[in-house]
Structure formats: C-alpha cells, structure tokens
Structure 1
Amino acid sequence: MTELRNLAYLVVATNDLDAWRTYASDVIGMGICQPRADTIGLRMDDHPWRILIERGDDDDLTHAGWDVGTPDALDAYVEGLRKKGADVREESADRANARSVTRLYSLADPNGFTHEFFCSRTGRNDDGGDLSAVIRGPGFHTGDLGIGHILPVARDYDASVRWYQDVLGLKYTDRIRQQMAPGVYADATFFHSATGRHHSLATGAFPSRKRLNHLMLEFCDMNDVGAAFDRAKAADVPIILELGHHPNDQMFSFYMVTPSGFGLELGWGGITVDDATWKPRIHDVMSDWGHKRNIITIA
C-alpha cells in the first residue's frame, strides 16, 4: 500500500481566537495569518499555515492533514483504503481550497476526529513563515518530516493501535510501558510515516475529556526550547511537564497547556527512523530524566 509521507497540518476548533493568536506568536514564536473570517493560521515555514484555528465549541483537534506526495500516490492510497472497506470520501473543491490543497479526501478516525489526505499544497510563500521575533534560531524542524506529531487519546487502545497500522498504514516505531504503581501502567504506542520522523502519531489510553492529549512542534535550535519555557512561565501558562528527555525519540522538551486545554510539547533533537536498520523496542519509562509533572490531568 502507498504510504503517507508526513503529517502536514492540523485543524483545531476554539472559542477564543484571540488567546490562540497571542499564545502562538508571543509564547511559541509562530507566524500568524488570517486565511478567512473566524480563523487564524499558525505558520512555521513556507506553507500558508500549518495549524488552522477555527472558531468552534469543541476546543479540540478536529482534522489532521497528511501529505501523500504525488497525484498518483494519492489515487493509490485512496484505492488502498477503499479495498480495506474504509469509508474514505472526496471533499469538495471549496473544502480543498480552504485547506490550500488541490484535491482532498477524508476519513473518520475511531477516536473522534477526521484525517485528510492530499498531494500538493498551494499558496506557499518563501518567507520562512514570517515567524515571531522571539525565535532565536532558524525556526521549526519541518520540511519532509512534516509538522511534528499528535497523540490522540484512544477510546479502545488495542483497536486504535490496529487501526493506525492496518487501515491508516502507519508503521510501528516502538512502545513505552511504564509502571506507575503496582499493577498500574502508562502505555503508549508510536508510529512513523514514510519520511521517518520518529513518530508522527502516537496513541495511548489516558484520562481525558479531550480527543488530543498533545501535539509536538520541534525547533531547529535547542535554545528556542529553553527560551519558550521561560516565556511560558512568564506568561503564567500552566506547565504540564518541565524540561526533560524522552528515551525513545531522544526529544529534549517541555509540555504546556494550550488555550484549548490539550497539551503542547515543544522540543529539539528528535531522531528519524531508517526502516532498513530500525529495531523496535519497548521502553519502560516515558522520560529518562526531567519532565517533572506539575499537572496530572490537563482537561
């Protein structure tokens, strides 16, 4: 089956566009645009936007957009989904235009949001994303690796792991299973796409009223992680996990709460997967140092 290349964009609903605008620009350091009324676009690079914030009551992830690469690859991927019995649908030209793509297909995720698939992005602008002046380094690590990763909360963990592999076609990277108390485990499974970011999607079963546990954005410069951590604290943004390091993707990062209530991980140093040499394993800790937890549940 044709593979997804990378996670290219996200769509999030919110009831507070102004809070997201300030948070994205002043705390994270993203560029800001307004694709249409009642939306703001969050920029990271030459794409017209990487995260679209729309006015809505959900305050949660609504759509995840995947780049399939070429028109032929998109056709083959959609055909492969249909052969598996997946109810994949072609979206209207208006919806495709709103996503700044030429053609668009969609498929419902069992955990309550929608995946979208496309093969080319329109409206790209060679301005580096017009990032906020608070950024110190070159910006965000995107390109062929995509936007970063998402961790949706699994309604049925085992079924979700199977669906992401067998239907969506993501490849198993590794797993973390940490004993939190006698007989009580935190468990997450990680998946990568064709271009090899350690994981573009992970899932686990966690107490949450949100569909999205967190999303991750990666800086090109380690100093931007520390600077963003300082800005978040100065702005009284709740910190979920303080600075620390993950053993599986080797990410140095911290986690904070977004205006929509789910988490945002800002990191640096994540590894990529070479399928020819990668050997999956099960880790027994979520973090090998740091990541002191300040908030038990975030929503």
Structure 2
Amino acid sequence: MELKALGYVGVGASSINSWKDFAVGMLGMQLGDRTSHSAGFRMDEREQRLFIDSEIPDGSQVLGWEVSDGAALEAIAQRLEAAGVRVRWESTTLATRRHVSALISFHDPVGNRLEIFHGAAVASTPFAPGRAISGFRTGSLGLGHAVLTVERTEAVLPFYQDVLGFRLSDFMLRPFKAHFLHVNSRHHSLALIETGRNGMHHLMVELLSIDDVGQGYDIALCNPEVIGVTLGRHINDYMTSFYAKSPSPFMVEYGWGGRALDLKSWEATEVTQGASFWGHERSWLSPEARQHAKELRMQAARDGQRAPVQVLNGNYTLFEEL
C-alpha cells in the first residue's frame, strides 16, 4: 500500500480570522504561518497539518496524502497516469508553502483536489496548543480522517480503491449509505457518504484525552448552533465525539478513543446496527432519516450493545475488582 496517511488538509475560505478563532480557540491547534491570504495550523511536531487559503475557491478543500519517499511518489504518479488521470508535478514554491519536499496534484472523478506528497517538514519548536489540551493523536495514523459527500458512491469508490489503493473497512446502507476506507490502522482515513451532492461532510481530529473532547463540547455549547452532531459514540470505529460546524460549509468531528485495525486479519462487513451506540443526533439528516437513526439507537440500547474502550498504552489506571 503506497499511501501512508492523510497528511494535511487545506480549505478555501474568505474569512481567515474566523478559522483562526475556531482552530485555535476551540480545537486547540497552534497558529503557524500567517500571510495576508492564508494561515497554517499545527497539531503536532510537523510544521503544518491544516491550512486556510483565501486564494482557493471558497468552500473547496485540498486533501494531502502522504507517501514514504520520492520513488513512491513517482510510482503512484505513473499509476494515476496509466489510469487516465491528469497529474501535475507541482512547483518548488508550492511545495515550500505546503512544507513538504515534493508533491503532485490531480482531481478525483467528482472534482475534489487531491495532493500526494513526501518529506513533510518538522518544526524547530515543540507543539504549543492553542488551549489546554493533552494533544492530538497523529503520528503514523495521520492527522485524522476526511469524509466526502458524493452524488453517487459508484462513481467515486472504484477510483479510491482500484487506483489509489484504499481498502474497505466496512460500509452501511442505513440510515445513510456510507463506505469507510483505510490506508493504515486508523479505522478510516476517508469515507464516502451518498447524499446526492458532491462536497465535504467533515474532517475528524482525534484527541489524547476524553476530557479534551468534553471540554471542547462545553466550549461549543456556549454557542449551541455550532453543534452539528451531538456527543455520542460510533458503532464501527468506536469514536466518542461531537461535530462542530466550522466557518466553512462542513463540520469538524472532535473525538477520542478511535479503533485501530489489525490489518492482517481485518475483513470488511456491512454495519447493520446503525451508526452510533448512543447520542450523535444528526441535524443534517432529513426528519425521516433522523427518526430511523433514533430507532436504531433505541434498539442498540434494548440489545445492550457494547464495545471495548480503546485506550492508548499508559493512558489509563487499572483497579482491582472490589
């Protein structure tokens, strides 16, 4: 598998200051580079994980996927071209702005801009979060995951699986149609939700402590209309999270406790129990779909559905049974 992780995300937005307040004040990212038309944000030791650029069309996004080295970048460029995809080798100037050694760009079948890069730059100073958080779970898993809305899944899914090499984690058909794809042990780095339109649904960032998420939820509740999906826990990736409406027309999922896959033994299956064990009231669904999602959660409660808590080594205390 040549793609290693989702390395960075870029967003086209006219209001850089609104994004700065959201990324730093609520999400806890660190402001990095700032120009008259752009702002970069850190989540870890890397120079940049998120950038906002007013010179990119408002509401559009860039997904930056990482490979190991120049040879891997060349190989995937050749594979894309063999599949009839127009690939552009980007300039050193753009690579410098992205804080990488080299990158290519192209578009998926519905027009989303994708970039593939190698050689991400490491900052010379430690990560300093914008508010008091424990930090983000990144490293080899990448910055998190991105979820795209698509008009028809069948028009996009083969491109990501057959050309780019994403592997299917699982899928669901109710209360909405969604396919979850991985490139490393994070349950999914990309998902496609069939909604009848093409765009960005949400970006997920994962925290190191559930208290980071709870305190972020309190911050979001100071302005309740910011909440796009209430606090809850997913059935397939076990993430405890809520979704906040970003300054752009998509949400940011703020989560903890995501599942890691055993890549040697994992087999994709259909998720039939619904999307969440509890919570996650989705304001973006139709009234009928929201009612169906609620019925699935009520059934999960009646069935007593549970899943093990996913805790990083050392981030827990064991007690002897009384």
With the length of structure 2 as denominator, give the TM-score of the two structures: 0.84
Measured against aligned partners, the alpha-carbon deviations of 1:176-234 in whole angstroms (never above 9, x if no partner) come to 2214xxxxxx11001001x32111110011255x7101110000111111110000111
Indicate the residue corresponding to 2:167 in structure 1.
171
Indicate the residue corresponding to 1:64 in structure 2.
63
| C-alpha distance in structure 2 between counterparts of 1:187 and 1:268, whole Å | 24
**Counterpart secondary structure, 2:72:** helix
Alignment of 1:23-38 (within 5 A): 23-38=22-37
| C-alpha distance in structure 1 between counterparts of 2:65 and 2:122, whole Å | 17
| C-alpha distance in structure 2 between counterparts of 1:175 and 1:295, whole Å | 19
Judging changes above 3 Å, is the alpha-carbon distance between structure 1 residues 235 and 30 closer, same or farther for their aligned structure 2 residues? Answer: farther
Alignment of 1:207-222 (within 5 A): 211-222=199-210
**Counterpart secondary structure, 1:293:** coil
Indicate the residue corresponding to 2:38 in structure 1.
39
Structure 1: runs of 5 or more not aligned: 180-185
Shift of 1:35: 4.3
Indicate the residue corresponding to 2:53 in structure 1.
54
Measured against aligned partners, the alpha-carbon deviations of 1:52-83 in whole angstroms (never above 9, x if no partner) come to 00114743242111110122222222222222
Given the alignment of the two structures, is residue 115 of structure 1 paired with residue 114 of structure 2, yes or no? yes
- Contact 2:207 2:255 (C-alpha < 8 Å) held by counterparts: yes
Query: Which has the higher mean CA deviation after the structures are superposed, 8-17 or 25-34?
Result: 25-34
Alignment of 1:128-207 (within 5 A): 128=127, 130-135=128-133, 137=134, 139-179=135-175, 186-193=176-183, 195-206=184-195
Shift of 1:111: 2.7
Indicate the residue corresponding to 1:183 in structure 2.
none
Indicate the residue corresponding to 2:275 in structure 1.
286
- Contact 1:59 1:261 (C-alpha < 8 Å) held by counterparts: no
- Contact 1:173 1:190 (C-alpha < 8 Å) held by counterparts: yes
| C-alpha distance in structure 2 between counterparts of 1:231 and 1:240, whole Å | 14
Structure 1: 4+ residue segments shifted above 4 A: none
Task: Tell me which of the two structures has the higher relative contact order, counting C-alpha pairs closer than 8 angstroms and 6 or more residues apart.
Answer: 1
Indicate the residue corresponding to 1:17 in structure 2.
16
**Counterpart secondary structure, 2:102:** coil
With the length of structure 1 as denominator, give the TM-score of the two structures: 0.90
- Contact 2:26 2:219 (C-alpha < 8 Å) held by counterparts: yes
Equivalent residue letter for 1:117: I
**Counterpart secondary structure, 1:276:** coil
Shift of 1:101: 1.0
Judging changes above 3 Å, is the alpha-carbon distance between structure 1 residues 32 and 235 closer, same or farther for their aligned structure 2 residues? Answer: farther
- Contact 1:112 1:211 (C-alpha < 8 Å) held by counterparts: no
| C-alpha distance in structure 2 between counterparts of 1:153 and 1:175, whole Å | 14
Given the alignment of the two structures, is residue 91 of structure 1 paired with residue 76 of structure 2, yes or no? no
Query: Which has the higher mean CA deviation after the structures are superposed, 88-97 or 141-150?
Result: 88-97
**Counterpart secondary structure, 1:4:** coil
**Counterpart secondary structure, 2:84:** coil
After superposition, the CA RMSD in angstroms is 1.8
Indicate the residue corresponding to 1:262 in structure 2.
250
Number of aligned positions between the proteins = 285
Higher helix proportion (structure 1 or 2): 2
Shift of 1:96: 1.2
Equivalent residue letter for 1:133: R
| C-alpha distance in structure 2 between counterparts of 1:71 and 1:216, whole Å | 28
Query: Which has the higher mean CA deviation after the structures are superposed, 234-243 or 63-72?
Result: 234-243
Equivalent residue letter for 1:94: T
- Contact 1:86 1:167 (C-alpha < 8 Å) held by counterparts: no
Judging changes above 3 Å, is the alpha-carbon distance between structure 1 residues 115 and 57 closer, same or farther for their aligned structure 2 residues? Answer: closer
Equivalent residue letter for 1:187: K
Structure whose alpha-carbon radius of gyration is higher: 2
Overall identity of the aligned pairs, in %: 34
| C-alpha distance in structure 1 between counterparts of 2:201 and 2:55, whole Å | 19
